[in-house]
Amino acid sequence: MIDIDRVNQYVSEFAEFIESKTALRGAKQYFAGVDLGTSYMAVAVVDEEGNPAAGALRFAEVVRDGLVVDYVGAVQIIKELKKEIEELLDTELEAAAVAYPPGSGGKNKDAFGYVAEGAGFECIRDLDEPTAANLVLQVDDGAIVDIGGGTTGMAVIKDGEVVYTGDQPTGGTHFSLVIAGAYKIPFEEAEERKKDPSLQRELFPVVKPVMEKISLIIEKECQMSGHSVEEIYLCGGTSAFNRIEKVIADRTGLSVVKADYPWLVTPAGIALACREAILNGYQGND
């Protein structure tokens, strides 16, 4: 088991910076993580000790099912988030790492780094999203499941090492689609309803079939990995939906752990990956 109290304290510090629009000034060096999600784009920053220093989020529809479909729009949003954080820190951010869905490859994988570079960062590392998340979670044995807007990515960890990754195109966007269909409302309105915790009890029966599909994806990926998995660790924005962890636990028969502010776990991990790369003199791709 991970130290969930430590994880919750860590990500809550990022949440506080984002919500209060403040930052930890005065560090010797800062390291940024750029997360290009289907629903949200984020930049997280840590200091030389790995402490949370700043963060910013923006709703966006420039990535679809793990693919960058609006490069110019993505660059503009990350550029704006970078400027926002730089003003809070009163310093220029130079280096960043990026993360991509486990199933990405070739030009699409490269596109994540190009977005960061287009926004003014030096992209010094790229890695898959669940591996980045594990820099925060610190799982020794189990599966990290990153349920984002468009995809569900997964990494199986054994003895602290990633031994398998997989990714399937099902996530929060599919929640919004079924909500829009059930209530005969525009997709944008369905998105807003989905994110309102006070409505999630009402919406649960509507989106439960999608949760069941995600559970089946997790089961399939666990089987394909060829490794036994006893615990699942959820992250990604869609995993914030109330009771999703219970549905997954009931369907898979596995123990399921969910951190507070699960949408911040991966961005924080990407920033830590940037720090790790620079302090270890590493430059390149995982």
> What pLDDT shows up at residue 108?
72
pTM attached to this predicted model: 0.92
Are 231 and 257 within 8 A, CB to CB? yes
> What pLDDT shows up at residue 282?
62
Q: Report the CATH number of the 4-134+264-285 domain.
A: 3.30.420.40
Q: What contacts 280, CB < 8 A, 6 or more positions away?
A: none
> What pLDDT shows up at residue 210?
97
pLDDT tens digit at each of 286 positions of the chain = 899 999 999 999 999 999 999 999 999 999 999 999 877 899 999 999 999 999 999 988 787 766 788 889 999 999 999 999 999 999 999 999 999 888 666 677 888 999 999 999 999 999 988 899 999 999 999 999 999 888 898 999 999 999 999 888 899 999 999 999 999 999 999 999 999 999 999 999 999 999 999 999 999 999 999 999 999 999 999 999 999 999 999 999 999 999 999 999 999 999 999 999 999 876 555 5
Which tokens sit at 138? Answer: 């610190």
> What pLDDT shows up at residue 98?
96
Q: What sections of 50-163 are H helices per DSSP?
A: 71-89, 106-118, 129-137
> What pLDDT shows up at residue 69?
82
Helix 200-225 and helix 172-183, axial crossing angle in degrees, nearest 10: 140
Domain residue spans of the chain: 4-134+264-285, 138-262
> What pLDDT shows up at residue 244?
97
Q: Please indicate whether the domains covering 4-134+264-285 and 138-262 agree at the CATH topology level.
A: yes
Q: Report the CATH number of the 138-262 domain.
A: 3.30.420.40
CA angle (174 as vertex; 225, 239 as ends), nearest 5: 60
Provide the 3-class DSSP secondary structure of residue 146. Answer: strand
β strands within the chain, DSSP E: 30-36, 40-47, 52-59, 63-64, 67-68, 95-100, 122-128, 142-147, 152-158, 161-168, 231-235, 255-258, 284-285
Q: What contacts 158, CB < 8 A, 6 or more positions away?
A: 141, 227
End-to-end alpha-carbon separation of the chain, Å? 26
> What pLDDT shows up at residue 29?
95
> What pLDDT shows up at residue 103?
67
